[in-house]
Amino acid sequence: MRKVSALLLATERRAISGLAGLYASRMLGLFMVLPVLALYADALEGATPLLVGFALGVYGLTQAVLQIPFGLLSDRIGRKRVIAFGLIVFALGSMVAAMADSIGGIIIGRALQGSGAVAAAIMALLADQTREQVRTAAMATIGLSIGASFAIAMVVGPWLASWAGLSGVFWFTALLTLLGLIVLWRWVPPAPRRLRHRDVGLDRQQFKSVIIRPDLWRLDISIFTLHLVLMAIFVAVPFRLQEAGIPLAHHGLAYLGIMGLSFVAMVPLMIVAEKKQQTKVVCLLAIGAIAVSLGGLGSSFSHGYWLFIGLFVFFTGFNLLEATLPSMLSKLAPAGAKGTAMGVYSTSQFLGAFLGGTLGGLLANVWGLNAVFIGCGVLALLWWLAMWKMPSPPPLSSEVVALNDTPPDMLDLLLERLADVVGVEDVMVVPEERLVYLKVNRQQLDRDALTRLIPPKS
């Protein structure tokens, strides 16, 4: 079997590498502030733990509000134009934060960063630039780039802040964003004709059916709570490392060790989840690990080695859920509704980040740092209970097949015959897109029967 990279066209390789780089650099800029902002707040006029938490999470509010409108706007005026505008707004927000000497200025800058909500437009452009048979791999590359950007941010943020201060972190982010504009216009291939992609973009007709499904709601609650907890604890974690005697310049090394070990620990659990069809069990294990680690971090024992063990357990659970939740969503979303389901999921994630920063700041402001961990631990327990009764997701995958030269008057018959193919669980035929969206069990799929019904284009 040939490698996926060998199947990619030159334009697809450029689109995937360029857009993944844009997405990752943008997330890097947002994440680099997490491990350092609370430590530098004393130098900011008007700073309180509550406002520091609000500054950490406010980008999530503007991102959640604007990401779907930006995606829809890109359908009308062009992907690259919307992405370029969003990057300029993001760079402007970074510059505002870099020049700020008060917590209010940081909040305005972070809100502007979130206003450059180009995630949906980037995904839509990537879908425009790739063929159906390689699109899943292309989207997975974006997912990997996000995970890598978070890990890098945890290491680079403290080092950069110790060398150039908090403003240096924001100036570096602005520079990365401006370089991203060059990548967008000089490296990413010219945008082809804009198309609707139901596996990537929002379909208004399916919006209601997606948001009322209990299994999808549980996943939305999961990503909401996961990022709420993440953002909340970074009001307190930097101080815990400082209390452990680690200077800021070495915080990055601490995160490097913790994140590296957590990635190693999650690999066998990922294999169990996907190969043994134990996704729900692994998900509950990860949520439970997060709840236990947060309880430990909020106790009187959270010092010395126990601090690092607690953070290791937390980030193992976090990274595991970051990987398994989108996989569960892909399995559960109806045929042709994956993009809509992912839009609701992403919005939930950003709202969780916003409320998490605010909640963490509030708890620290009123009851102290331990209360941040304890409060988040209680939320994690409630989350575990909410996921307990969720049915295990079936081993299904999404596929998109081109209709090619199938006559319009044969589409209803084709739909019936596709539904009868062994291994096909759900079908949506979209004549205006000349595509068929399928949910299939690849272990059972009769690939020959599917090929006979829809022969590949010669």
The one-digit pLDDT tens for each residue of the chain (458 residues) are 334 444 788 888 999 999 999 999 999 999 999 999 999 998 999 999 999 999 999 999 999 999 888 988 888 888 899 999 999 999 999 999 999 999 999 999 999 999 999 988 898 888 888 877 777 778 888 888 888 899 999 999 999 999 999 999 999 999 999 999 999 999 999 876 656 666 666 777 777 778 888 889 999 999 999 999 999 999 999 999 999 999 988 999 999 999 999 999 999 999 888 888 888 999 999 999 999 999 999 987 777 889 999 999 999 999 999 989 988 888 888 877 788 888 899 999 999 999 999 999 999 999 999 999 999 999 999 999 999 988 888 888 877 777 777 777 777 788 888 888 888 888 887 777 777 888 888 788 888 888 888 776 65
For 62, the token pair is: 């503007």
Cα–Cα distance between 391 and 386 in angstroms, integer? 11
> 122 and 260: one domain?
yes
Structural domain ending residue among the three candidates 353, 388, 423:
388
Residue 327 lies in a domain: yes
Based on the fold, state whether residues 362 and 243 are members of the same structural domain.
yes
Q: Is residue 419 part of a domain?
A: yes
The CA R_g of the chain, rounded to the nearest whole Å, is 23
Helix (H, G, I), strand (E, B) or coil at 327: helix
- Domain that includes residue 441, residue range: 397-453
Residue 56: give its domain's CATH number.
1.20.1250.20
Q: Which residues of 86-109 are buried (b: 16+ CB within 10 A; e: fewer)?
A: bbebbbbbbbbbbebeebebbbbb
Determine contact, residues 325/216, Cβ cutoff 8 Å: no
Domain end among 357, 388, 419 = 388
Residue 457, pLDDT score: 63
* Contact call for residues 361 and 50 (beta carbons, < 8 A): yes
Is 230 domain-assigned? yes
Identify whether 312 is part of a domain.
yes
Residues 201 and 328 in one domain: yes
Residue 202 lies in a domain: yes
Q: Is residue 458 part of a domain?
A: no
State the first-to-last Cα distance of the chain, in angstroms, to the nearest integer. 20
DSSP state of 401: E
Q: What is the largest CA-CA distance in the chain?
A: 73
Q: What is the pLDDT of residue 3?
A: 40
CA pair distance 264, 291, nearest whole angstrom = 20
Asked if 277 contacts 220 with a C-beta cutoff of 8 angstroms, the reply is: no
Residues paired with residue 54 on neighbouring β-strands, in sequence order: none
Structure tokens at 326: 């989108």
Does residue 31 form part of some domain? yes
Whole-number pLDDT of residue 399: 78
**Cβ pair 101, 109 in contact under 8 A:** no
Place of tokens 């310049």: 249
Domain identity same for 250 and 279: yes
For residues 146 and 346, is the Cβ–Cβ distance under 8 A?
no
- Based on the fold, state whether residues 297 and 175 are members of the same structural domain: yes
Phi, psi (degrees; rounded to nearest 5) at 422? -60, 130
Looking at the structure, tell me whether residues 307 and 410 fall in a common domain: no
Residue owning tokens 């609650």 = 221
Which CATH number covers residue 449? Answer: 3.30.70.100
Whether residues 380 and 405 fall in one domain: no
User: Does residue 220 belong to any structural domain of this protein?
Assistant: yes
The pLDDT score that the predictor gives to residue 428 is 81
Please check whether residues 332 and 435 belong to one and the same domain.
no
A 10 A CB-CB count for 208 gives 10
Based on the domain organization, do 216 and 123 belong to the same domain?
yes
Report how far Cα 319 is from the mean position of its chain's Cα atoms.
11
Given 363, 388, 413, the domain boundary residue is 388
Please answer whether residues 350 and 58 qualify as being in contact, where contact means their C-beta atoms are separated by less than 8 angstroms.
Answer: no
Q: Do 412 and 357 share a domain, yes or no?
A: no
Contact assessment for residue 445 and residue 422, using Cβ atoms and an 8 Å cutoff: yes
pTM: 0.90
- What total of structural domains would you count in the chain? 2
Cα angle value 304/305/310 (rounded, 5°): 110
Per-residue confidence (pLDDT) for residue 198, from 0 to 100: 64
Does residue 237 sit in the same domain as residue 206?
A: yes
pLDDT at res. 193: 62
On whether both 93 and 173 belong to a single domain, the answer is yes
